[in-house]
């Protein structure tokens, strides 16, 4: 019994020392699965699979993709997903070169000994000087922006007051001239009245174009305000089966990169058009701003990349 116990202990220790990629590779080989079969089931390339198994995490665009692939790989091999992710967090914390490329979001309350040592290290005075200089630049920039905004508002109010005052003075002068002309026409010979009426018309007419210009300026301001209050576009997705999702909007903001479970639904807001990649397009139903979007798969391919909300749709 003692000999058997001594033989089993090194095996368990060697398993615990395996990296997350090495652990997954060992489990795959024990389950008699080759790389091609696993890559097909995970809907990733063999090079991505090799990067996972060799812990080459710099080959992935971000930590969200890494954790998603690790969870999917663990689920395929029927392993504990949280345990595999914990191996990944421990590996990244223990290798500074990988930590410089990816900063994993560790569970709350878990702090590595290396992180504690870094917190004990005093910060260089040059770092403090750079931080203070950057803060001063930001404060000055905001102050200049506020000053410019205040100047623009004052100038706009001043122009509006001048326009309103000019219109009021013109209308009052026109009304007084019309009253004086009416009084003179009542006292003078009737033959002179047409000339006086023509003169009164010439005085009153300029106020009409100015009133039109004032209304047009108010309409332009209202139209600009309506454009600023325009609501963002809304993209809704529902999934009848498990599906990998990658979505970004016209501004380049990444809105979703995750594996959706069967029966789940998500609602995203951004600026159309949206760039969408679905790993299982037949399982997804889409709607843009409440309008259903029809997506047609290409041949027998389950994955599809397409654009929603473009001008030619």
Give the pLDDT of residue 36.
Answer: 94
Mean pLDDT over residues 231-241, rounded? Answer: 93
pLDDT tens, residue by residue, 126-158: 888 988 999 989 888 888 887 666 555 455 545
Mean pLDDT over residues 169-182, rounded? Answer: 50
Statement: residue 211 has pLDDT above 90: no
Length of the chain: 313
Question: Is the separation of the CB atoms in 231 and 198 below 8 Å?
Answer: no
Cα–Cα separations (whole angstroms), residue 247 to 89, 261, 272, 310: 26, 16, 11, 14
Lowest mean pLDDT among 98-107, 232-241, 263-272, 304-313: 98-107
Residue 55 confidence class, pLDDT cut points 50, 70, 90:
very high
Question: Is the separation of the CB atoms in 48 and 69 below 8 Å?
Answer: yes
Mean pLDDT over residues 278-291, rounded? Answer: 92
Give the pLDDT of residue 181.
Answer: 46
Structure-block tokens of residue 114: 């290396």
Give the pLDDT of residue 124.
Answer: 74
pTM of the shown model: 0.33
């Amino acid at each position: 019994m003692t000999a058997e116990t001594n033989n089993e202990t090194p095996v368990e220790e060697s398993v615990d020392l395996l990296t997350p990629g090495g652990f997954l590779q060992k489990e795959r080989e024990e389950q008699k699965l080759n790389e091609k079969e696993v890559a097909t089931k995970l809907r990733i390339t063999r090079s991505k699979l090799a990067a996972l198994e060799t812990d080459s995490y710099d080959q992935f665009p971000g930590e969200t993709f890494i954790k998603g692939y690790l969870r999917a790989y663990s689920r395929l091999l029927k392993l504990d997903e949280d345990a595999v992710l914990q191996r990944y967090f421990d590996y990244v914390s223990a290798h500074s070169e990988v930590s410089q490329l990816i900063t994993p979001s560790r569970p709350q309350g878990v702090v590595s000994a290396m992180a504690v040592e870094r917190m004990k290290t005093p910060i260089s005075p040059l770092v403090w000087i750079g931080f203070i200089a950057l803060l001063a630049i930001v404060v000055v920039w905001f102050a200049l922006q506020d000053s410019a905004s205040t100047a623009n508002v004052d100038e706009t109010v001043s122009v509006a007051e001048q326009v309103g005052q000019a219109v009021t003075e013109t209308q009052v002068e026109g009304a007084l001239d019309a009253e004086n002309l009416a009084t003179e026409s009542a006292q003078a010979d009737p033959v002179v009245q047409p000339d006086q009426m023509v003169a009164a018309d010439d005085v009153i007419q300029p106020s009409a174009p100015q009133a039109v210009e004032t209304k047009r300026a108010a309409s332009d301001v209202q139209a600009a305000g309506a454009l600023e209050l325009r609501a963002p576009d809304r993209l809704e997705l529902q999934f009848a089966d498990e599906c990998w999702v990658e979505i970004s909007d016209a501004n380049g903001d990444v809105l979703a990169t995750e594996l959706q479970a069967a029966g789940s639904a998500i609602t995203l807001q951004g600026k159309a058009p949206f760039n969408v990649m679905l790993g299982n397009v037949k399982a997804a139903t889409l709607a843009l701003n409440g309008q259903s979007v029809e997506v047609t798969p290409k041949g027998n391919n389950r994955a599809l990349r397409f654009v929603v909300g473009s001008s030619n749709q």
